[in-house]
Structure 1
Amino acid sequence: MIAVTGASGQLGRLVIESLLSKTSSENIVAVVRDPNSVPEFVAKGVEIRHADYNDPASLVKALKGIDKLLLISSNAVGQRTPQHKAVIDAAAETGVHLLAYTSLLKADTSPIFLAQEHKETEALIKESGLNYTFLRNGWYTENYTMGIAQALEGKAVYNCAGQGRLTTAPRAEYAEAAAVVLTDETDQHLNQTYELGGDSSYDLSDFASEIGKSAGTDISYVNLKEDDFKSALIEAGLPEGFAGALADAGTGISNGWLVDESKTLSKLIGRDTTPMKQSVLEAFQAL
């Protein structure tokens, strides 16, 4: 049996859909806080189990009989490490054979604020003695394409990433890589760490240019100081902590911490990743 935590989230839903294309629904368990949140999976024959990262007993109950588990990192920044530890402990107690974890590029060495809890979680998994696969996901292309409407309105893309390069891929391709690992019938992925990113790199000037091409207008990239970018995000309505984390990540990008050109992601999914310009065009057409 294969279980996915956080199965009702954006990435989790895509992982379940990818698993359904690779194995029978009878082999899949969606672990969610609200069992009523995924009626589409119920209709497809996926088993739904309730669990909460903050309720260790619920996790032990949900993971009974599970062979492979994908721990999708919590979105509760600042609380992730203890939440993840509860899942790891439950996996160890119930005898999970493989624990796959969605981490962050270069998590063990990255100075990016968001990497710290991933680093701590990876260490806890290793200490547990469980077999693991670390899926160190790079940025999702959607992190940027979701802001295309605002870029068109303001005629600019704002960040503090300088000329730092990115190797993004659509969220669905990271989800497929996880499904590949979880459905593999050999042990080739046991105790492996995969740095995952798109096949080609670009910077945010390139991204702004692609938006302009799709719209038939000029879109510029405006590079701000980290504090100024954080202030702009707060003014746009983001919570201060989240705005700070995004601004910090922008500085991390400027220093090369979110680029990986190993093409490990495309090797796992068996095809080239989707180029940024294609994602921009598709997102523009969907407006």
Structure 2
Amino acid sequence: MSIVVTGATGQLGRLIVDSLLRRGVPADRIVALGRDTDRLADLAGRGVVTRQADYDDIESLRAAFAGAEKLMFVSGSEVGRRAAQHHNVVTAAKETGVGLVVYTSIVKADTSDLLLAAEHRATEAEIRASGLPYVLLRNSWYLENYTGQLATYRQHGVAGAAGDGRVSAATRADYAEAAAAVLTTEGHTNRVYELGGAPFTLAELAGEVSRQTGAEVGYTDLPVAKYTELLVAAGLPEGYAAVIADGDRGQARGELEVAGDDLATLLGRAPATLAEAIRAAL
């Protein structure tokens, strides 16, 4: 029996595989999946089993899930197509007798009105309806969403439409470690975890960038429509820009702030903070 990790060619999936290996899971009990197995060659070299799988190809999923004790179901990245793709994953998991499905969802998926939440909410409902034992990991935003823009912030400042709403962002590595903890310890079946780090506003983000870089970085708050226009002018596709701006709209309403300490509990420590993530990125 094995732990199967979908999306292992992506950043989060790869970090989950790394976390499982660090926790002592034998490499030959980890199955890393991806559409392009050439990108999994380094994991195969470490003894990890690799298999080809595509969310659009249910037959590939049935073959890839064979013998799976636990399935680490990393949500797909193709917004607008995920409901159908995730249906294939859940169907294949049920047909192959997977013992536990651990799904990476979005914070407050059952109540959020974010554009990004609808497909996650549908997937959660389908997982529950399948009768499969499950764990729902509802992740807030990644700190890398912000640390990846430090050069832009220093030059142009921080812009957004989040008002004074707070976001409980955490690093991909911490979300991955939490997932690995769920996969390697007991007592999580049919649990829902709302995961996020210490919350901050975008004005506080700008202030921390200023403090650590010495540059004068401010926050400009815009209406959602104006922020969408700004993102499009910066080169983002209109649909993607609308999703990002909608995330800020949700942040202003409290949709991205996580109450409780689920992430710290799973990690056994405090998650990395915004200040630590900026320091590491710099």
Task: Report the counterpart of residue 196 of structure 2 in structure 1.
Answer: 197
Secondary structure (helix, strand or coil) at the match of 1:232 reads helix
- Distance in 1, matches of 2:171 and 2:137, equals 15
Q: In structure 2, what is the Cα distance between the partners aligned to 1:201 and 1:52?
A: 35
Conservation of the 8 A alpha-carbon contact between 1:53 and 1:59:
yes
1:68-217 alignment to 2 at 5 Å?
Answer: 68-154=70-156, 156-184=157-185, 186=186, 188-198=187-197, 200-217=198-215
Is this contact kept in 2: 1:103–1:136, CA < 8 A? Answer: yes
SS at 2:111 equivalent: coil
Q: Provide the TM-score with structure 2 as the length reference.
A: 0.98
1:227-282, Cα deviation, whole Å (9 max, x unpaired): 11111111111111111001011000000000013110010011111111111122
Match of 2:247 in 1: 249
Amino acid at match of 1:35: T
Distance 1:64 1:25 in 2: 17
Report the counterpart of residue 231 of structure 1 in structure 2. Answer: 229
Aligned partner letter, 2:86: H
- Which structure 2 segments of 5+ residues have no match? none
Residue 12 of structure 2 corresponds to residue 14 of structure 1: no
Structure 2: distance between partners of 1:225 and 1:190:
42
Distance in 1, Cα, partners of 2:258 & 2:175: 14
Count residues with an aligned counterpart. Answer: 280
Give the Cα separation in 2 of the matches to 1:225 and 1:35. 43
What amino acid is the match of 1:169?
A
Quote the Cα distance in structure 2 between the aligned partners of 1:90 and 1:69.
11
**1:217: how far off?**
2.0
Q: Conserved in 2, the CA contact under 8 Å of 1:6 and 1:72?
A: yes
CA distance in 2 between counterparts of 1:95 and 1:209 reads 50
* Secondary structure in 2 matching 1:106: coil
SS of residue in 2 equivalent to 1:38: helix
> Residue 69 of structure 1 aligns to a residue in which SS?
strand
CA distance in 2, matches of 1:178, 1:202: 23
CA distance in 1, matches of 2:95, 2:105: 22
Q: Distance in 2 between matches of 1:38 and 1:211?
A: 35
Give the partner amino acid of 2:163: G
- The SS at the match of 1:164 is coil
Residue type at the aligned position of 1:21: R
- Provide the rounded CA distance (Å) in 2 between the counterparts of 1:3 and 1:183: 12
Letter in 2 for 1:51: A
Q: What code does the residue aligned with 2:202 have?
A: L
Residue identity in the other structure for 1:117: E
Identity of aligned residues (%): 44
**Structure 2 residue identity aligned to 1:148:** L
Q: How far does residue 202 in structure 1 lie from its aligned partner after superposition?
A: 1.1
Pick from 261, 264, 271: which aligns with 1:263?
A: 261
List gaps (5 residues or longer) in structure 1: none
- Deviation by residue 1:74-116 (Cα, 9 ceiling, x = unmatched): 0000000110010100000000010010000000100111000
Corresponding residue of 2:29? 27
Q: Tell me the equivalent position of 1:219.
A: 217
Could you list the structure 1 runs, at least 4 aligned residues long, displaced by more than 3 angstroms after superposition.
none
Q: Which amino acid aligns with 1:174?
A: Y
Contact 1:211 1:281 in 2 (8 A): no
Whole-angstrom distance in 2 between the partners of 1:115 and 1:273 = 24
Name the amino acid aligned to 1:233. Answer: L
